[in-house]
Structure 1
């Protein structure tokens, strides 16, 4: 029987997906986060690297691989709020429909900051929407990375790669993952690799994913070179972007995931993770 995968193939998962060779019994489709969230929940696919918030919201039926994630500790560069006023003065924000995760994170941060701007669905690049009258625009993924560089770049030989700029042409870019770290001190887990509890992935798929991740992380410069050309960005910017990511869902990432679950989806069901060798792992509400 064919096992069906749904991949969100942004650059941030290139170290896992670029060299992934699917077992003969597995097929795959690709799409944006909201499409793959819906595909997994409807049964169109059996596993997907879905938004962490959808995993939390549907924790009664979904389980996640115990050692795969898309997380960062600090800036992510591709989940950005572009704004022309200070955050306290932002009154109207355009939201992308491509990502439930980024919208949920923004809503949590706004509550924590005590801010109540109007949130509206609108698609388009950040500068176009700002010119249409929005004073804040939420952008995600590869487009957000390019648009951040369009605001903050070009980088010069004197630019330190440990503190990249976030302003230009009257626009400020607030990195939501960095804002989360400032708020909580935890990494932010954007995505997990989830599947229905009654239909776990075959062992050969998990092994192939682990081998692909090892290959990708071990050759990050080559991955960055390939994707820099596609994105139209300098190789060193893309490599810096990729080396920020945490792909193994380690203990700090789970702490951040739990913290976000408590803030974004109070009363959520227990989060469960597939077994590591010999045991099943769980994170219950209230555990640290």
Structure 2
């Protein structure tokens, strides 16, 4: 039986989701490799990956995907790892350098400016180097680990999830596990995908495992173990509950209104356990 190819994100925020793959034993059914969020989506689109944790925005762009239910990278408030860092207050920003690593945060930035921050600005795509971004533009968007380690003293800093919550009252969903339907048909491993991925998330969030992740990732990122622990347990929400789904639906609605996508997509979820064996 062919392995299911899994494209995962190489950021701290996915570490609990990948616990059983990195530290446990999920068998030989999966071939896992790590990359950036935008590349995960591209690999699903091209068919070089079967399962990927993708920026939610790209779910609207890639046909024939289904989601693993109740797993997400989301936040109910402050996220800390999606930052707009600016030399001037937000109302004075005229140009923004956008981190090339993700599509969701880029389009959240566009939504915030268009809906709540007095209109459009000029945007350029840029690798996540804050000094170079601010040399070219008034502000820079950083996501993931570069945002967590960014030196922001002296700048105006806007946590985009906080801004979203302030204006909409909703949480924000950044990424989800998506699967190409064609890859699952006739694959025996597919019958347990939901169970395997949800269990990996649950195991990764056990207190003793979060402690281990904090020890492992602190030297990688250059922030304290306490900050890593706080980030994984208080800033990131790993469930796709009803409240998070409301926030996701509103984001897609705004993206459609602003013509960032053609149409808000219908969310389709992979049924649990034996659906594929029927």
TM-score by length of 1: 0.84
Segments ≥4 residues shifted beyond 6 Å? none
Of the structure 1 ranges 196-205 and 254-263, higher mean CA displacement relative to structure 2 is found in: 196-205
What is the match of residue 159 of structure 1? none
The CA distance in 2 between the partners of 1:203 and 1:248, in whole Å, is: 21
SS in 1 for 2:170: coil
2:202 to 200, 204, 214: 214
Q: Does 1:17 align with 2:18?
A: yes
Q: CA deviation at 1:139?
A: 0.7
Could you say which residue in structure 2 is the equivalent of 1:240?
230
1:275 maps to which of 256, 271, 278: 271
Deviation at 1:15, TM superposition (A): 0.9
Contact 1:15/1:212 (<8 A) preserved: yes
Instruction: Report what 1:228 is aligned to.
Output: 218
Shift of 1:276: 4.5
* Partner in structure 2 of residue 70 of structure 1: 73
1:164 aligned partner: none
Give the count of matched residue pairs: 258
**Cross-structure match for 1:156:** none
Considering fraction of residues, name the structure with more helix. Answer: 2
Confirm or deny that 1:183 pairs with 2:167. Answer: yes
Secondary structure of the corresponding residue to residue 116 of structure 1: coil
| Equivalent position of 1:112 in the other structure | 115
1:135 to 138, 141, 144: 138
CA distance in 2, matches of 1:203, 1:277: 5
Select 1:42's aligned residue among 46, 50, 65: 46
State the Cα RMSD in Å. Answer: 1.9
Instruction: Tell me the distance in 2 between the aligned counterparts of 1:238 and 1:227.
Output: 7
Q: Which runs of 5+ in 2 are unaligned?
A: 258-262
Using the TM superposition, give the Cα deviation of residue 133 of structure 1 relative to its aligned residue in structure 2, in angstroms. Answer: 3.9
* TM-score, normalization by structure 2: 0.87
Are the equivalent residues in 2 in contact too, given 1:37–1:51 (CA < 8 A)?
yes
Contiguous gaps of at least 5 residues in structure 1: 152-167, 280-288
